[in-house]
Structure 1
């Protein structure tokens, strides 16, 4: 197994990863790893745009208030202030560097309206292809000093003396390589692919969050998964996102009987916060109704939304009927690796940014189009923080921690075979989806506990398994933590809705559930290692 040394390792290929790497590359030696291709990420799929208070009748204070309201006041207010106050300046810097957003005939920015915003403040590019336009522009600007390695998956974080000092990767040829660095940055996106209906790239399984947890970093707000209300539904399958900007331009929801059910659900009707709209659609679907997005009021739909038009045409949707069948799907993870606004995690040497991180900026429900702004602002704050305290080690004394080999002669026949990705997704959607309750969550937790031996032995199993099994175990670990958090939060707030506790409780306001791996104590180390090896044998029995 070979080893290589860098100053900074960035994991991920989306906007947060590339922006951070580009900022750092002038002063540090940076390498990027992505388990798929450079285009396989959520940033390329982003349709709506970038929310930013740049119009003269708008203000960062209004944007701030909208973000808090959408987040059900579970937000970290300092993070929200930084996002909304610094956003205009950081966005202008991108524009001055050549990024082009759509403008009207007068040359002013063509600003869109989206759900839960009090003003038109959404900048978009290429109509409904903002993410793609941003990523292509950034690829053209990316420093040649940044080395990007595609199709190589990070499967382990190296930790020595309570400091993250590198990663281990596994490539498509089954080759494992150790890379060491003083700084490791996780910018891998969220965890939408834990669910069968999702707007996320299929590679977004939350594996990096589980890796961080296993390494000793704290995770938080895991119960808050946002479901986007409108994904194109074809034969019961969600095949792509239909941007909230469509409703911002006048489209409305109706059921199969033509009833506009959002009229009496929320004062903002079809432009209510995403969690509200998703639950309303879920209720209609639960009553065996079909749900459609009626686009009859949208002027020049095909010109304004070329990507959505192409998606509908591809799947045989006749836009002349003005009805697009929709279903909610997992879209954005408010939870993640617990960080400061500078991207610092609770594990020294490990940083996180973008959707993988949770600094509390989105609260319990993200405001529409704040995700791209988050990547732009917090990538810069992270890079500035690292450069201000720049320490470049040309030779880092860090070695791979050895693990005991699994004793194949003493395998215990108690573990169950690993489930398929589809089984995990089905169980998560059924019991930890848009609407949850204790009975279902307990059933899900009991099912997930069957696979805990794998999770407890993951460090050993990583040395012998292939990527599909490793990823499955990390999915199971994250699902277990999500389920625990959903059970603990006995209220409904934002994207977390409990039918047995259907209202928000003041006692839970600003309360965050933290998850941290228990560390070995000197007194109990021997017993814990015995239990660890026993778990490893249990899990290995079906491999």
Structure 2
């Protein structure tokens, strides 16, 4: 087995918006390495259709944006963190240059999406915002940033004497193991949408960064809160891609096969209700055997306004001219993740997490539309500023050696895991289903220490997916209420008296510990 050792000032695992924003702003004399498991452009950030939420209109305000964020998050957000991010949002937009769509008079075009009470979504290329932001940041990467593609990072390197993360291990296509030592190690691997059989997420988004941090001893929080996007293009029993919420913001309506509006009388905002409400309503209809469609007949020049979605439909043989797109809900975004402060500091020295992999408390129990790119841009900038001010001496690194434990782990089958998570830990949950999934996952003894160096990349993928799935299932079983992205049919109502708190999961020397942590709660307005 071949080992390769490398040293860096800053090691970034992942290549989405948060990662690239950070890399573009690190001090030029720092040696920065970006590692990505596939290629730079295969990420959720690149697929993002909607836009960036920011109160840039004179009639809007950060306070209004904050109230919408807290409402969508079902008042589980950290209000101080949310306020700080939305207040900086408007300043992040001009930082990206003139990439956002404007009207004939040069003013930013502002879209409307679910749970927003004002038009505040800036977008680029109609429905290709993520791609345009990513390309802008890639073009800005300085010469001190070096990129390695097709490296699967699977384990953090810990200095247990100094109780500090000092790097990570990655496996290349040829099976060689790379040891990356760094002063600062940043997890920017995104969420875990691929844990579910229906998802809008890129194939690479399997939750491995969260699992690695947890196995190293970092706190994870709010893992039960998984957002299911209402409108994935759905054909022949498969999800084919995302239909942006901006389509409903432009006037599209969810209907059943006979044309009955799905959301009429369900919520005051109807089709622009918070995503968990729309998804749960659709789930009930689909479960009863009905089909759900997105009626786009009221949208003028659909092909021009939504070129990416038009291309997606054409690729799958769906004619825009017919005015109806078959849709179903699927896993989209994880509100929980590795517990961090706003700059991304985890509970382990030397280890940071930014973007969807992190849980800052911004999103609460359900993310407000287009707040994800905003958070990634904010955290990338905030962490770069902090790293540029703090020079850390690299600890003496231990000699490279193989793990002393040679037991090969029992790996969950990925397809079976995805089907089980969708059925038992999906849009609608219950004690019976959650217990069934927990027992299945527990049978693999995923918290035991294994010789990960001896595993193949597919085996490592399945193992780390199993760990993250266990975190979601355990948290969902513990929270005996319904809130945001977590819906329990056996506990269908919010319970502020007992559950306005976070579920923190931590592992120490192989022992799993779960605790509640009361937040500075966003009080209901």
Alpha-carbon contact 1:48-1:128 (below 8 Å) kept: yes
Q: What residue in structure 2 maps to residue 518 of structure 1?
A: 508
Partners of 1:431 and 1:357 lie apart in 2 by: 24
Q: Deviations over 1:274-301 (max 9, x none)?
A: 0110001101101100000000111111
Q: Residue 448 of structure 2 is aligned with which of 456, 472, 476?
A: 456
Q: Deviations over 1:464-490 (max 9, x none)?
A: 111111111111111112111001000
Alpha-carbon contact 2:294-2:325 (below 8 Å) kept: yes
Partners of 1:49 and 1:174 lie apart in 2 by: 38
1:3-42 paired onto structure 2 within 5 Å: 3-42=5-44
TM-score under structure 1 length normalisation: 0.91
Q: Deviations over 1:250-283 (max 9, x none)?
A: 0000011211020111000000000110001101
Q: What residue in structure 2 maps to residue 261 of structure 1?
A: 262
Q: Quickly say closer, same or farther: Cα 1:111–1:164, change in 2 above 3 A.
A: same
1:440 counterpart SS class: helix
1:317-356 paired onto structure 2 within 5 Å: 317-356=318-357
Across the aligned residues of Structure 1 and Structure 2, the Cα RMSD in angstroms comes to 1.5
Q: Deviations over 1:88-126 (max 9, x none)?
A: 11222222xxx4100111111111000000100000100
Q: What residue in structure 2 maps to residue 431 of structure 1?
A: 424
Alpha-carbon contact 2:29-2:144 (below 8 Å) kept: no
Q: Deviations over 1:220-240 (max 9, x none)?
A: 100011000000001110000
TM-score under structure 2 length normalisation: 0.94
Q: What residue in structure 1 maps to residue 494 of structure 2?
A: 504
Q: What residue in structure 2 maps to residue 421 of structure 1?
A: 414
Alpha-carbon contact 1:180-1:398 (below 8 Å) kept: no
Larger Rg: 1
1:83-98 paired onto structure 2 within 5 Å: 83-95=85-97
1:517 counterpart SS class: strand
**Structure number having the greater strand percentage:** 2
2:477 counterpart SS class: helix
Runs of at least 5 residues in structure 2 that lack an aligned partner in the other structure: 512-525
**Structure number having the greater helix percentage:** 1
Alpha-carbon contact 1:455-1:474 (below 8 Å) kept: no
Partners of 1:265 and 1:232 lie apart in 2 by: 23
Q: Quickly say closer, same or farther: Cα 1:300–1:386, change in 2 above 3 A.
A: same
Q: Quickly say closer, same or farther: Cα 1:319–1:407, change in 2 above 3 A.
A: closer
Alpha-carbon contact 1:74-1:509 (below 8 Å) kept: no
Q: What residue in structure 1 maps to residue 437 of structure 2?
A: 444
Q: Quickly say closer, same or farther: Cα 1:455–1:327, change in 2 above 3 A.
A: same
Alpha-carbon contact 1:20-1:380 (below 8 Å) kept: yes
Structure 1 segments of 4 or more deviating over 4 A?
398-402
1:320 to partner: Cα distance: 1.6
Count of aligned pairs = 507
Q: What residue in structure 2 maps to residue 491 of structure 1?
A: 481
Q: Quickly say closer, same or farther: Cα 1:407–1:40, change in 2 above 3 A.
A: closer
